[in-house]
Amino acid sequence: MKPEGLPQPDRSLLDHDRDMTSTLAAHHGSALRVEVLRVRTEGGLYLREVFLRTVDDDKIVEYGVLAVVLTAFSAEARAAIEAGRTPLGAILHEFKVPFVSAPIGFFTADAASLAATPLALPAGARASGRFNRLATPAGETLAWIMEILPPAAA
């Protein structure tokens, strides 16, 4: 789907070349924390399924599934990623990792389509999302991310 097909404010929250952590923190007026739901490492990739939550009221503002290329990060940044306490976007900024965010595609999904995920939506609700690739300015992949905004997050 083209980003023009997304409802507002989801489109403005998803159709950009920034990280989602800072975008959602600014939109919700709160710092964000990560809640790691599942994690595993496989073939140099750090795979995790997460919720991003506001610090102020613990509201879920994103459901994400990430594949992070650990070898693309310094030992210190890698340790912060694997600690699972800080959202990836915040780590990119904290360790001054230069990156380019390049959304690959956008989508909407209904509650039934997301029923197998931890993101519980009320019947009939729709969520918007994007597939994103974070890379170095030279084009080396840092991470692939599926990011879904719950309807209440917008």
pTM: 0.91
Residue 127: per-residue pLDDT: 93
What is the C-alpha to C-alpha distance for residues 91 and 80, in angstroms, rounded to an integer? 7
* Tokens coding 131: 């597939």
Number of domains in the chain: 1
**Intervals of the chain under pLDDT 50:** 154
Can you give the residue range of the structural domain that contains 103? Answer: 3-153
Task: Work out the number of other CB atoms within 10 angstroms of the CB of residue 85.
Answer: 13
What is the C-alpha to C-alpha distance for residues 58 and 53, in angstroms, rounded to an integer? 5
List the CATH number of the domain containing 40: 3.40.1410.10
Tens of pLDDT, residue by residue over 13-45, are: 999 999 999 999 999 999 999 999 999 999 989
